[in-house]
Structures are given as C-alpha cells and as structure tokens.
C-alpha cells in the first residue's frame, strides 16, 4: 500500500512529491516520460518567461546566468530538486486507470515491461496537457513533415515552412524560423493576432509581417496538408501554400478521457473538474488534481508560477476517512 502516488512528474508533480516528503510521506512519483518531460519538449535554447524565484519549488533556490532561466537551466534545477529531496521516481510509467476497491485506490500502470497494479491511499493527478495536441482534423495532419511541437529552428533553413496558430508558441516559432533562414507563412484563424501575445514579442512579429519578411494569412483555416503544400481557405478563397515543413501549434488539452475513466466529474462547458478549493480533491474520494490540468480547456490559467503550491494544499489535508489508517 503506497501512501500517495503522484502521476505526472512535471514541475507541479515534483513539487507535490516534495510537499508529501515534508509531511513524512514517501510518495511514488511516476511519469509516462522522463522527469519534467514537458520541459524536455520545449524548443531547444528557449528561455522561460518567468523569473527564477517564481519557478522555485520546495524552497530550493533556482540560480541562472541571465534574468530568466533557459530550458537547460530549468531541467538542471528540477533534476537537482528531485535528487536532493530523495524523491522516489519512476520514468516511463503511465497511469492508465484507477478505481476504488476495499477502501483504497487500485491504479493500473503501463510501463516498458508491461502492466502493473499498485494500491494507494491517495492519488494525485498532475499529468498536464502537453501530450495531447489540439488536432486540426484535416487530411495529411499525420504526414512525417507535420509536427505539433516546435523543436528548434535550424532545420527550417532554406525551406518553406507553414506555422499554423496565432498564439505565443506559434508566433515565437515563426520568428525563430524566419531568423534561421526559413520562408515562413503564419496561418491563423483569427482576424488579427490576439492581445495575449507577450508584449515584447508583439511589435517584433507585427513589424516582420508589415515588412513582408514573414507572410501571414489571417481569418484562414487549413483544409488539407500534402507532401509539399498546405491548402488553406479564407472565406470563399482557397490558396495553396508551399510547405516543406508544417508546425501545427494550435494548443493542447488535458487527457479528458483519463479523467472520465477515473469517474471524475467535469463541468460540461469548461471541462474543468469540480475540485474542493481547500484540498483540490475531486468528486472521487482520494483523487486530487494539481497544476495545469486543473483548469480544463483553459490551459493557460495555471502554470508553474501559480500551480507550484498545489501540493501544499493537498498534503496538508486529511486523508479521506475510507483510506485513513
């Protein structure tokens, strides 16, 4: 019987494991990928928008060379926290299902060597959203030159690249690709760039578009993707854009299917789970939610800065009476 299992070893899952430790609970932290797997998928060389002290967990100082940490400094920091806290961590182990049995929670896990069942008093879901891109749902989206993750710009040199999306990740990818020598077209369904674009990025993209250095198609949706082209539609007008590489950066969503399998009630419009505000417990006794998954579809509401104390709420609460010993 585990005291607590934390599914998802992002910054918030890791912070939850530290909160559990501070209360004498040796929680098992597991991740379908590696430690802070989502950060490993950030673009190489990326800098966080958050200042270091707002990314710190467990009171450990995050020291970085510049004003804000890079992806590499973030990875090093969270690795260091896991090591000095002695967090019990298992990589490549995915939570598939969980159900209440005999007053405890039985979890089904899938790892590299097959499936396994473990029993726990408390389960914390901190599985983020980064594994589930919002698909365009068009033919050709699964072609090998199409990606829902922007990795690095160098590979775009000398190529026609179409970036789909108009939010920060799409705009930043378009700018980096342009500066690495790609011929970039940004395709966005909105009539103009949204106000949520970071204030220091907005003038840069607007000026590149004005100067004709980055092509942009607003009010346009993708109809299909072929080996060398993306077909878009804006009103009645259809256009074929040359594309050696396509980045569909149209956001992500939590694993709502997993929540449904666990019996977690979601609000119909927002797909937000109904959580006890004090303990972040779901309607399923003993199952809590932490971090970015807690805000349903509105994934930009909770991030590292404001999710990192969720473990404190969860582990300072009493165990449900059915599982307490």
Considering only 112-120, 128-136, 260-268, 277-285, which stretch makes contact with ligand FAD by CB under 6 A? Answer: 128-136
Q: Which of 2, 6, 13, 105 binds ligand FAD (CB under 6 A)?
A: 13
Q: Is 165 in the site for ligand FAD (CB under 6 A)?
A: no
CB of 33 to ligand FAD, least distance (A): 4
* Distance separating alpha carbons of residues 180 and 227, to the nearest angstrom: 22
- How many Cα atoms within 13 Å fall on the side-chain side of residue 89? 27
* Distance separating alpha carbons of residues 74 and 58, to the nearest angstrom: 15
Q: Which of 127, 185, 250, 295 binds ligand FAD (CB under 6 A)?
A: 127
Q: Which of 130, 247, 259, 315 binds ligand FAD (CB under 6 A)?
A: 130
Query: How far, CA to CA in Å, does 313 sit from each of 97, 136, 275, 303, 317?
Result: 24, 37, 12, 16, 7
Per-residue interface string for the shown chain with ligand FAD, residues 47-76, x marking contact by CB under 6 A: -xxx--------------------------
Neighbours of 233 (CB within 10 A): 15
Q: How far apart are the first and last CA of the chain?
A: 11
CA angle 319, 295, 69 (to 5 degrees): 95
Q: Which of 106, 131, 204, 223 binds ligand FAD (CB under 6 A)?
A: 131
Per-residue interface string for the shown chain with ligand FAD, residues 202-241, x marking contact by CB under 6 A: ----------------------------------------
* Distance separating alpha carbons of residues 286 and 275, to the nearest angstrom: 12
Please identify, using beta-carbon distances, which residue of 128 and 296 lies nearer to ligand FAD. Answer: 128
Residues 289-318 that bind ligand FAD (CB under 6 A): 291-292, 303-305, 307
3 state SS of 71:
helix
Q: H-helix or E-strand containing 114?
A: strand 114-125
Considering only 35-43, 197-205, 211-219, 269-277, which stretch makes contact with ligand FAD by CB under 6 A? Answer: 35-43
Considering only 27-35, 115-123, 273-281, 316-324, which stretch makes contact with ligand FAD by CB under 6 A? Answer: 27-35
Per-residue burial over 207-218, b = 16 or more CB atoms within 10 Å of its CB, e = otherwise? ebbeeeebbbbe
CB of 115 to ligand FAD, least distance (A): 13
Total residues at interface with ligand FAD (CB under 6 A): 34
**Comparing C-alpha atoms, which of 33, 67, 61 is closest to residue 47?**
67
Q: Which residue has the tokens 């930009």?
A: 300
The residue ranges that bind ligand FAD (CB under 6 A) are: 7-13, 30-33, 37-38, 42, 46, 48-50, 94-95, 126-128, 130-131, 169, 255, 258, 291-292, 303-305, 307
């Amino acid at each position: 019987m585990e005291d607590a299992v934390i599914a998802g070893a992002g910054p918030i899952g890791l912070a939850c494991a530290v909160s559990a430790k501070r209360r004498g609970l040796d929680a098992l932290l597991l991740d379908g990928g590696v430690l802070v797997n989502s950060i490993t998928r950030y673009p190489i060389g990326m800098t966080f928008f958050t200042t270091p002290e707002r990314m710190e967990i467990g009171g450990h100082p995050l020291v970085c060379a510049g004003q804000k940490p890079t992806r590499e400094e973030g990875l090093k920091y969270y690795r260091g926290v896991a090591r000095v806290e002695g967090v019990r961590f298992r990589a490549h182990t995915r939570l598939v299902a969980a159900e209440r049995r005999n007053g405890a929670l039985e979890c089904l896990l899938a790892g590299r060597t097959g499936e396994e069942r473990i029993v726990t008093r408390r389960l914390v879901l901190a599985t983020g959203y980064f594994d589930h891109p919002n698909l365009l749902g068009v033919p050709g989206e699964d072609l090998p030159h199409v990606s829902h993750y922007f990795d690095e710009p160098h590979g775009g040199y000398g190529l026609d690249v179409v970036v789909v999306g108009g939010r920060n990740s799409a705009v930043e990818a378009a700018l980096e690709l342009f500066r690495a020598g790609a011929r970039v077209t940004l395709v966005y369904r909105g009539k103009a760039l949204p106000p949520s674009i970071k204030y220091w990025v907005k003038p840069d993209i607007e000026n590149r578009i004005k100067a004709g250095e980055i092509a942009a198609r607003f009010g346009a949706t993708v109809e299909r993707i072929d080996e060398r082209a993306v077909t878009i539609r804006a009103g009645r007008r259809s256009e074929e854009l040359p594309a050696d590489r396509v980045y569909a950066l149209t956001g992500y969503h939590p694993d709502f299917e997993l929540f449904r399998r666990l019996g977690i009630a979601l609000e119909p419009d927002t797909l937000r789970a109904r959580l006890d505000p004090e303990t972040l417990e779901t309607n399923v006794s003993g199952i809590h939610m932490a971090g970015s998954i807690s805000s349903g579809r509105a994934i930009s509401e909770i991030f590292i800065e404001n999710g990192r104390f969720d473990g404190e709420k969860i582990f300072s609460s009493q165990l449900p009476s059915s599982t307490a010993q």
